[in-house]
Structure 1
């Protein structure tokens, strides 16, 4: 596998002068002094650590992810359609219609209209800037949304008493926006807490003061194996965050650093979070404590760590009886993860799910508790959702259905929010692309296809209290993913989500078959031809 992007990546704003690069290094075959093109090496000579990250100038209004081909992804599987019969519905032409398929799910006891969760969107600016769209869109769609780590600690207006947070207007805003449009049944808002959050007492605050039901312990993410990071463009802000206990680099208290910042040598500080080192007994007690102070659901969000860590996580989660675990595969990303880590570290999603399922089956055979699973890591469409859920259902799992009950997405809902907001702004300025306006109209009432549907229920709130960006998120989640998933269920003639299983997919590559145990397309039902044709 060649790495032609090793020295030029769009995420870091780098490129090369020649197209025929060395396939090992990604460098031009001939590198010359008189070249103004900034490759990774060249830009690093000027900006050093900045080139480890997605372009700093885009922070807050962009997302980033890997551009590496891992050699195995969801396109290595195909969904198998059926001609005859129907499950989960009466096999009648006027009844077995795709829009009658049931795509509801339940993870950790939380019902979902669509088998999705969105998040986690924490203290990084891209989450804060798009929260209205994400929270309201998730509430309208009936899914879980996760408020990510460090929100209280980074909130400028947070109030601390004896080192514990007693008020955070930003956290209150985030919870309130979701609950304002939540039906009280489908989906919910979860709060993710890391080492710093636990020290600040965020768990107690959101459970007692904000009536949050779900606490998600943050153990990691697929995009990186270090703590959460944001950029800070103010010296005063950097000093404040360091005083609150965060790691801020370079050290804003150093006079030479302050001078360099004021002189414009660099324009942003990095705020880093610490990583936790969980222990089994401590975590079991931690879950018991969270439940004792009011948590109705306790979950884990973990990254794509090596296989022994996957197994240990499943063991500890089983012992603690957490409601569900989110496993996040390599390849995704949201705000600010080091580009080399996103590309070259951690387990890609299909490999990761195969490891998780192996653990789940071992626990099940041993008669031990198996928590529900949500898979994350680069998901964007309904075919990937279908395949990931079907892969996890082993012959009905003794009636429990798929191990994977939902898919967690971050980048794609953010993209829906940002795109919807930008096109609304363009419409306000009468600057929509001509082709777009000619096809779909020049105002949001026309080009958001779900506008009339939402107006029937929410009236004049649509486009005002419910911003058009939220309409965009709802349209993506419900109108595209939800409806698309129903069509796939109908195509397999299985009209309830928990009926799809491993027999509904086929591997298209030997590697996909080897990793997951799914037969190759040419192997599926091959032994039945003789029986069918000669009986």
Structure 2
């Protein structure tokens, strides 16, 4: 059997005409000369290099279409009926509502979260409600890299950011609802770091937390963006960006005059960071006023995972987020999302091994977040159990943004008197239909009635995740998620059994 998608994709609105597919190539087994061109190959024949990336970007989210041969669905959740861990075995104390979900981490500045969930980096679509909902739910959230390029009022001088007013609005979307839990974190890639974004964020907008990003998480490499013309290419180059081919190179002026210039592409730099740079750089950011420092890593080679963990340990960072395959929420090469990187459960196994080794050496271990396609409470529970106390939180990105968008869209329909058919049985108003709004009023008072339904959607969705995790923990008679371990999981396949027994990497 094959695990890879066919030569068609929702990324590009492409499809195979035939129901008979050649498994290895993904092509129609019978390819005819009269075809009008509906598949990925036809798209590449027309768009060329551009077809490496999805054409459906912008106000959309995209993620892997590959059916990986191992994931957390290869495990069931165990259950017990005797005893109680983390609570006295009484009816009043040992119940679902008393399962402790709160997480605390931080080397020098303690960060508390109401539940073991983090909303990873985004700065697209309905980001205002994404961040606001995180604050309401009491979890951390991350502003995506290159956020500065979203600001039409951005001003840079000598390669450094001097005016980025949109950042204040982004930070306030979380801060306006902050209730003592969670934190909003600014992610910076190598270009952001070179452009002085961390310094600007800390000094001008009092940002508390910075996340430094290796690679491009789900993408692995930095994205390539095709520029409109040579004029735009020259402007990008003058601003310090890498542009290929060189628009100011030999013969380009003459080629421009003759109308035979090639395509120009803007390419972000790869982060050739190492311990020698990062450790003093992180110390410098703390001296500027950053309270917490995070790192973002993906499912790279296990040797690279260990190197990042050791750098994070030496620099005493507060948390490292590891993003497994497949995934992506933005501008990622199609095949890189489908065919690159360690799947989350395999990546988590590698990380746990490395952490055990580092603990034996007496190293400081940062808090660890695992992300990559998580959307439901069973997946969150399984990752926490598999981590056996080494995993502090699970990142939920695309699903949380979906909750943000759906909450907003459904709320707008309700306010117009156009209640969606599947929600009519719950009532006619926002107050009647949004089930957890009463709990928001209990936290924020009656002003919660005026909150955006998109943010309410994120809050409600995360509450569902939390309540579901409490059910699974109580099922195993564990009333603090700190006690979850691999005995709470049942491997269903030979691969899952090999993985949990430590035989996968042998």
**Number of residue pairs aligned between Structure 1 and Structure 2:** 494
Q: Judge conservation of contact 2:159–2:240 (CA < 8 Å) in 1.
A: no
Is residue 78 of structure 1 aligned with residue 64 of structure 2? Answer: no
Q: Judge conservation of contact 2:3–2:68 (CA < 8 Å) in 1.
A: no
**What's the offset of the Cα at 1:290?**
1.7
Distance 1:443 1:251 in 2: 58
**What's the offset of the Cα at 1:162?**
3.6
Is residue 509 of structure 1 aligned with residue 486 of structure 2? Answer: no
Q: Judge conservation of contact 2:129–2:173 (CA < 8 Å) in 1.
A: no
1:450 paired residue number: 436
1:467 paired residue among 423, 447, 452: 452
1:321 paired residue number: 316
2:395 paired residue number: 408
Q: Secondary structure at the match of 1:291?
A: helix
The 10-residue stretch of structure 1 (240-249 or 327-336) with the greater mean CA deviation from structure 2: 240-249
Q: Secondary structure at the match of 1:300?
A: strand
- In the TM superposition, 1:73-472 aligns within 5 A as 73-108=71-106, 109-121=110-122, 127-183=123-179, 185-228=180-223, 242-247=237-242, 272-393=267-388, 402-434=389-421, 436-458=422-444, 461-462=447-448, 464=450, 466-472=451-457
Deviation sequence 1:15-68 (CA, Å, 0-9, x none): 011111111111112111212251111121112233322233xx2221111111
**What's the offset of the Cα at 1:167?**
2.5
1:492 paired residue among 445, 454, 476: 476
Per the alignment, do residues 352 and 371 of structure 1 end up closer, same or farther by CA in structure 2, a change over 3 Å counting?
Answer: same
Distance 2:400 2:393 in 1: 15
**What's the offset of the Cα at 1:437?**
3.8
Q: Judge conservation of contact 2:415–2:430 (CA < 8 Å) in 1.
A: no
**What's the offset of the Cα at 1:234?**
11
Q: Secondary structure at the match of 2:392?
A: strand
Q: Secondary structure at the match of 2:88?
A: coil
Q: Secondary structure at the match of 1:12?
A: coil
Q: Judge conservation of contact 1:416–1:476 (CA < 8 Å) in 2.
A: yes
Per the alignment, do residues 162 and 221 of structure 1 end up closer, same or farther by CA in structure 2, a change over 3 Å counting?
Answer: closer
The TM-score with structure 1 as length reference comes to 0.85
Q: Secondary structure at the match of 2:320?
A: strand
**What's the offset of the Cα at 1:514?**
1.5
Distance 1:259 1:106 in 2: 63
Per the alignment, do residues 441 and 7 of structure 1 end up closer, same or farther by CA in structure 2, a change over 3 Å counting?
Answer: same
The 10-residue stretch of structure 1 (421-430 or 347-356) with the greater mean CA deviation from structure 2: 421-430
Q: Judge conservation of contact 2:326–2:339 (CA < 8 Å) in 1.
A: no
Q: Secondary structure at the match of 2:410?
A: helix
Question: Where does the alignment leave 5 or more consecutive residues of structure 2 unmatched?
Answer: none
Distance 1:305 1:219 in 2: 10
The 10-residue stretch of structure 1 (156-165 or 309-318) with the greater mean CA deviation from structure 2: 156-165
Q: Judge conservation of contact 1:416–1:473 (CA < 8 Å) in 2.
A: yes
The TM-score with structure 2 as length reference comes to 0.90
Per the alignment, do residues 63 and 237 of structure 1 end up closer, same or farther by CA in structure 2, a change over 3 Å counting?
Answer: farther
Per the alignment, do residues 25 and 427 of structure 1 end up closer, same or farther by CA in structure 2, a change over 3 Å counting?
Answer: same
Q: Judge conservation of contact 1:3–1:23 (CA < 8 Å) in 2.
A: no
Distance 1:441 1:246 in 2: 54
2:31 paired residue number: 31
Question: Where does the alignment leave 5 or more consecutive residues of structure 1 unmatched?
Answer: 122-126, 261-265, 394-401, 520-535
Distance 1:501 1:293 in 2: 39
Q: Secondary structure at the match of 1:470?
A: helix
